[in-house]
Structure 1
Amino acid sequence: MRCPGQDSRFWRPGAIFEAKCPECGQPVEFFKDESSRKCPACGHKFVNPKMDFGCAAYCKFAEQCLGDLPPELLAERESLLKDRVALEMKKHFGRDFKRIAHASKVARYAEKLAFELGADPAVVLSAAYLHDVGLRDASPADHAREGARIAREILTNLGAREELIEEVCAIIEHHHEPPLDASLNFRCVFDADTLVNLEAARESTPDAGRSLPQEMEGSFLTDAGKELARKVLIHKEY
């Protein structure tokens, strides 16, 4: 069964229309169910201006329904993915508010580092939100491997691209043991997790702050992570 909005049996007058090409201004004929068309005059491909891409921005069957998705929508899918991953993380942990708070804080710091360093926010935030999901059902020793398995299931169900799934799972599986060739995305998640753990240690142990400068020196993989830690732990800017 096709989505009713894309089934021609439900179309009304105006389902076939013309739109001006944003590059050359020539009229281009669109059918209602076409996600994009190429201008026959100048060759510019642009999005159907009358199409509602709301569901396609998150539906994992969007490409089967609409065909090739325009670059603008693909970027929006990546942007929306982090919000849906956050919801899945909260559903997974249920009433374990401590773990939800930890993952949310790691994601917040990881996002700051990702934007500052030019990492991929979709990968970084997905890994940050899901890095500890294995702790619910596995022992601390096995939680990274179990977390990667759960993350793969969540991201697959959300329709994430395969390359993103593979990288996120690799980050989660090794997030306590950084490889020598750790990617920028990995380093953002690792530094954010390290910062949140140091912050929690300082809050639970009054004297922990005395050794912070020494701990910070060898704990972070990026200078940006180290600087963010100084702001959070020493200057208390966040």
Structure 2
Amino acid sequence: MKCPGQDSRYWKPGAIFETECPECKKPVEFFKDDTMRKCGHCGHRFVNPNMDFGCAAYCKFADQCLGELPPELLAQRQELMKDRIAVEMKKYFRQDFKRIGHATRVARHAEAIAGREGGDMAVILAAAYLHDIGIPEAEKKHGSSAARYQEEEGPRVARQIMEDVGAADAMIDEVCDIIGHHHHPRENETLNFRVLYDADLIANLEDSAKSKEPDKAHMEKVISRQFLTQAGQKRAKEIFLN
């Protein structure tokens, strides 16, 4: 079945229109369902200015429905995916505001670290929001939220959430892999994992500091030895030593 919004039988007047090329200012004809057109005068390709991408911003079948998606929409898609995963995380934890707050802080630290280190921000933030998503199932099945149980139960829950919001398969696989060992770094870790690990470590140190004033010498030792990125180490120093 073709999406009604893209089926010409449902089109109204104005579905075929002209717009000005942003480069040469010559008129370019667009059909309503064109995602991009090339100017016949100067050859510049640009996005349909009147197109409401709607579900294409998150639907993983958008490429099949609309054809090749423009870079502008792909960037919007990544941003929207992050927000949808954050919402689903909050819905899953329900009234557990402690874990919602922890996940949100990990995401904030991860975004700051990735801003300095690099990495795939969409993967990093999805992993940040979902890294502890296995805790409720761990407590239900094993009576414990120990790290190994979180890692055992988390990927299945995270995969379902990400499939429901339309994340790409490659993204789902990488996020689930990170969640499945997020407390236990391997010998040669990806940058995405290292950013998430450091962000989670900072948030955990913050949680510990709420109940007990941290010893400065001990904190200096932790920061110098346990962080996996320079940006994570620098952020930890800014928070705990300055």
The letter for the 2-side match of 1:211 is H
Q: Shift of residue 156 of structure 1?
A: 1.8
Deviations 1:34-82 (A, max 9, x none): 2122334444322111111233212344333322211110111011111
Moved more, 156-165 or 172-181: 156-165
Deviations 1:81-108 (A, max 9, x none): 1111100111111111111111111111
Which residue of structure 2 lines up, in the alignment, with residue 57 of structure 1?
57
Matched, 1:83 2:90: no
The letter for the 2-side match of 1:75 is A
Structure 1 vs Structure 2: percent identity of aligned residues?
56
Question: TM (normalized to structure 2)?
Answer: 0.89
Aligned residues: 235
Which residue of structure 2 lines up, in the alignment, with residue 162 of structure 1?
169
Instruction: Assess if the C-alpha contact under 8 Å between 2:37 and 2:47 holds in 1.
Output: yes
Moved more, 23-32 or 219-228: 23-32
Match for residue 149 of structure 2 among 142, 145, 168:
142
CA–CA distance in 2 between the matches of 1:209 and 1:93? 34
Instruction: Assess if the C-alpha contact under 8 Å between 1:19 and 1:29 holds in 2.
Output: yes
3-state secondary structure, aligned to 1:29: strand
CA–CA distance in 2 between the matches of 1:121 and 1:200? 24
Deviations 1:177-236 (A, max 9, x none): 11221111111100010111111112222355552112222111112111111221232x
3-state secondary structure, aligned to 2:162: helix
Structure of higher RCO (CA pairs closer than 8 Å, 6+ residues apart): 2
Which residue of structure 1 lines up, in the alignment, with residue 104 of structure 2?
104
Matched, 1:195 2:202: yes
The letter for the 2-side match of 1:13 is P
CA–CA distance in 1 between the matches of 2:162 and 2:43? 35
The letter for the 1-side match of 2:226 is S
CA–CA distance in 1 between the matches of 2:170 and 2:51? 28
Q: CA RMSD in A?
A: 1.9
Structural mapping, 1:23-42, within 5 Å:
23-42=23-42
CA–CA distance in 1 between the matches of 2:3 and 2:33? 10
Moved more, 55-64 or 90-99: 55-64
Match for residue 213 of structure 1 among 220, 223, 227:
220
Instruction: Assess if the C-alpha contact under 8 Å between 2:117 and 2:229 holds in 1.
Output: no
Q: Shift of residue 6 of structure 1?
A: 2.5
Which residue of structure 2 lines up, in the alignment, with residue 66 of structure 1?
66
Instruction: Assess if the C-alpha contact under 8 Å between 1:202 and 1:209 holds in 2.
Output: no
* Distance 1:17-1:215 versus aligned 2 partners, 3 A rule: same
Matched, 1:231 2:235: no
3-state secondary structure, aligned to 2:46: strand
The letter for the 2-side match of 1:99 is R
